[in-house]
Chain A
Amino acid sequence: MNLLVLLILVPVVALLLSVFITAEKVKNVILLGAVAELILCFELLREFMLERAAGNNAPYLFEIVYPWFKTWNINFHAGVDGISVSMLLLTSLVTVAAILVSWKVDEKPREFFMMLMLLTAGAIGFFISMDLIMAFFFLELAVVPKFLLIAHWGSGRKVYSATKLALMLMAGSSLILVGTLLLYVQSNGSFDITVLQSLHLDSETQRLIFPLMFLGFGVFTALFPFHTWVPDGHSSAPTAGSMFLAGISMKLGGYGCIRFAAILLPEGTQYYSSAIILLSTIAIVYGAFATLMQKDIKYINAYSSVSHCGFVLLGIGMLNQTALTGAVLQMISHGLMTALFFGAIGMIYSRAHTRDVRELGGLLKIMPFIGSIYIIVGLCSLGLPGLSGFVSEMTIFMGAWQVPGTFHKVATILACASIVVTAVYILQAVAKVMLGPVKNSHFLTLTDATWYERSASWLLMLAIIIMGILPMWLAQMISHETAPMAIKFLTLNS
């Protein structure tokens, strides 16, 4: 059976089973499903790399098409390339980690774990989609789980955050829908990206449709000024929710920007590239400075996500192979890193019951494992070589610097400079939370990580370290795909 179809079936089967078994057993089934999914993704990676090594250079592998609505030419068309495979790996890793971290959730556990699985199903389906309506279907699938996870299991201003998040993401989706319909008309009746890619739409049309698609997906990836759902949304969400939202949902936007906006509408992308670079640079710099002001460790990570996802969009805006590769690498690196960061924050919060840096302190002595994780992830965030953050950010900067022109150089310099600010807020957070005196004597009684928290942390930590030390296979897999994209952008003006 086609591996991609299996990837979709596993979450569906897990969900169906969850309806019928007892509430205490549900998390076991869901974990089993997530681990199965992870194994399948590794298998997919292995087979993909074998295919590529054997010389199969088709743009999409493991393609499968099932007609769905013949009248509208909507098909269940799935296929993967290097970028999709890496995103699928990311998704399955973060899912397993998120489920493990939430092992002790006891408020409506059945519904909680089912929501997580539904989110996974949506993300996986989205990454294998080659038909725009199929992609939209899976994108929308995640709306209800996101809303309920935050509104019910969250903390703080959960209803406000959940509503803001759901409405803004839905607004982005509606822009995507309109853009999709316009592309359908232009292609005389097709939603398939292979057909749409070979269309040569005139500049006027591309300049009209591109903003719709890009802004639509941009909302998901915290494009300034539509990033306002991120801080409240991520901070009010339960730990697994934040891990998923920041780790995967924001990447749906970046992936969509590349796959469904940039590739399909190259002239439009080029026309708006300056605007993209401007907005992403603002996001990077503003996000970094806003993080400096935060006192809640979750908000620190949330604003820092805005800043880091700005790098993704910057890479896309620069339109050359290195920068695009860097953008994808940043998606993966940031996904892993921020998931682990939220995981660590969740562990701290569930023990200390406060997220305020002014009340925390000296936790490294009390919880060495969690503390170490927190510090290492922080270092990854500021781009320490040896961890994944360095690989991706370095690639983006190199690619961005290659683009001639003052505007691009200035943007690159500003983005680089923001690393200094990142370093400040990370080290500040680490110092205040992990080092220094213990501010509350009650904290002395807190326990370190449990088995499930350790497993989740090790899983993500290993991924970050491997990506930091041995990124070659990954970078090669991705740049194989971004090379033709870059050529398309280069040959536009000829």
Chain B
Amino acid sequence: MNISDWLPLRFEIALAVFILLQLVIKIFDLIRNNEAWLRLNIAITFLIVLLGFTGADSGSLFGGMFFSSSFIIIEKTILAFATLLILMQSYNWLKQHPHTPEFFILLLTALLGMFLMLSANNILLFYLGLEMATIPVAALANFDLDKQRSSEAGMKMILSSAFSSGMLLFGISIFYGITGTLTIFVWQDLLRPGGLEVLALIFIMAGFGFKISLVPFHLWTADVYEGSPVSITAFLSVVSKGAVSFALARFLFSGVIMMQEVWIEILFLLSIVTMTVGNLFAIRQTNIKRFLAFSTVAQAGYILLGLAGDPVNAPTSVVYFILVYVFSNLAALGVVEAVSFATGKEDLDDYKGFYNSNKKLAIVLMLALFSLAGIPPTAGFFGKLFLFTSGIHSASLVWLLFASLNLVISLYYYMRLVRMMFSEKNEQPFAPIQSPVLSRIALIACSIGILFTGIFGGLYDFLHQLAK
């Protein structure tokens, strides 16, 4: 046992140490100033991101329960990077919040849970990570303490999480009963299509469906996204969704790969319904957070299309898409955060004429909307394109047609918002909004990501190499 054996666990160890350290600091009131807490946590998260570049150590620990590979390290780095961007964007809001230290502790715990979930080879460690990722976020959803909507969001989040976890566990227990083992990699040899296996798979997919907001398990999404503070909306829509997507890809291709004919059918149905319902409901929304909520529901439908690929391209296209999606969604939510903090307004109609009052913020939001719609030359175009090119491996023509026609529907509502910002006049325009330096850096980073991640082709090829 020497230090190099523990290197695959470096993310988790670092996070756990920092979380406990912060708990101690809070209990003994060693730091009183919110800004100091902010700077400390941004530095910590930045460090975690840097850890991702310190070499790829693959290996397994704890008797095979925990494993790591360079691909998993990339996934973790993306999630940590997204968290960093969220912290930077929420600088103003966090600075004046009465419970900032608790916010960081809960957020980093959630991140730690996601890391464990991604590295889990044992289904119980997976479940532990999943719960550890979800429960703190339910508390965080309640963090706008003076708003009733926020408490409602927290309540809905915890109830739906509990329910979905129950379903997930039910499916898992059946799989355990069939195979007699908790190790996911061993499952792929033992699980074949059969009545009981299909039942269990349906329950597990339902559990995953809740977490990634697939239709019809998406009903909590709009209310929770609307009620939570914007930073948590961002965390949920990007980090949480991203982590569970990665986990789903791993589960489908390592655990139940022998049941592919079954889960392709399930993915097909879920994908079509999710894309269509998500897009249609987004058209009707009047609140920008609900609008973005339904747009993310629809994006999940495309992720499922990408999962219909071969075992190398499916996870690669999903990871690439999530990276692009991190930039796009965080750019959009970063602007929403800035506007919400400065003016408290969150209706789509308030964004009329935004281009005239706050040109730079409006341009960032427009870039984000173009990327979400999948318009070149933004990265969103390539993200969606590769989900398509990955998916044709196993997807049916009907699936492809549905997916591409849904691009049309989504274009409608994204362009409608762009036009409102660009063309229409606002009776009560916003005053020019000032953002702190870190928030501006985060928005610039997202914009650069949107503009350049797609055009430079090497990134996807790099990920593809790692996935092999």
Contact = CB atoms under 8 A, between A and B. Distances in A.
Tell which of A148, A163, A166, A170 has the most Cβ of chain B within 10 Å.
A170
Contacts, number: 84
Contact of B388 (A137, A159, A166, A181): A181
Contacts of B46: none
A69 B392 CA distance: 17
A133 B385 contact: yes
B405 A152 contact: no
Given A148-B419, A152-B419, A163-B415, A140 B408 contact: no
Contacts of B388: 177, 181
Interface residues of A, number: 35
B285 interface: no
B381 A174 contact: no
Contacts of A152: 419, 422-423
Given A67-B457, A167-B411, A141 B376 contact: yes
B464 A147 contact: no
Contacts of B407: 170, 173-174
Interface string B407-428: 1100110011011001100000
B311 interface: no
B6 to A, nearest CB: 34
Nearest to B462: A71
Interface stretch (B77-85, B198-206, B212-220, B396-404): B396-404
Contacts of B354: none
A61 B175 CA distance: 61
B412 A163 contact: yes
Contacts of A147: 415, 419
Nearest to B463: A71
A171 B408 contact: yes
Nearest to B382: A69
A20 interface: no
Interface string A111-137: 100000000000000000000010001
A151 B419 contact: yes
B392 A185 contact: yes
B161 interface: no
A148 B400 CA distance: 28
B376 A170 contact: no
A248 interface: no
Contacts of A166: 411-412, 415
B287 interface: no
B397 A178 contact: yes
Contacts of A171: 405, 408
Interface residues of B, number: 31
Given A148-B422, A181-B389, A175 B381 contact: no
A371 B145 CA distance: 70
A367 to B, nearest CB: 31
A465 to B, nearest CB: 37
Nearest to B415: A147
Interface in A43-77: 67-72, 74
B367 to A, nearest CB: 11
B210 interface: no
B377 A137 contact: yes
A364 B153 CA distance: 69
A173 B386 CA distance: 16
Tell which of A71, A151, A163, A173 has the most Cβ of chain B within 10 Å.
A71
A71 B464 contact: yes
A167 B386 CA distance: 22
B392 A170 contact: no
Contact of A174 (B313, B370, B408, B415): B408
A485 to B, nearest CB: 28
Interface in B409-455: 411-412, 415-416, 418-419, 422-423
A143 interface: yes
B322 to A, nearest CB: 17
Interface of A: 67-72, 74, 111, 133, 137-138, 140-141, 143-144, 147-148, 151-152, 159, 162-163, 166-167, 170-171, 173-175, 177-178, 181-182, 184-185
Closest A-B pairs by Cβ, 6 of them: A174-B404, A69-B457, A68-B457, A71-B464, A152-B423, A170-B408
22 contacts: A68-B457, A69-B460, A71-B461, A71-B464, A72-B389, A140-B376, A141-B375, A143-B375, A144-B415, A148-B418, A152-B419, A163-B412, A163-B415, A166-B411, A166-B415, A170-B411, A171-B408, A174-B404, A174-B407, A174-B408, A181-B388, A184-B392
Interface of B: 313, 316, 370, 375-377, 381, 385-386, 388-389, 392, 397, 400-401, 404-405, 407-408, 411-412, 415-416, 418-419, 422-423, 457, 460-461, 464
Given A72-B460, A137-B376, A182-B392, 18 more contacts: A69-B386, A71-B316, A111-B422, A133-B385, A138-B376, A140-B376, A144-B375, A166-B415, A167-B411, A170-B408, A173-B407, A174-B401, A174-B405, A174-B407, A177-B388, A178-B401, A181-B388, A182-B397
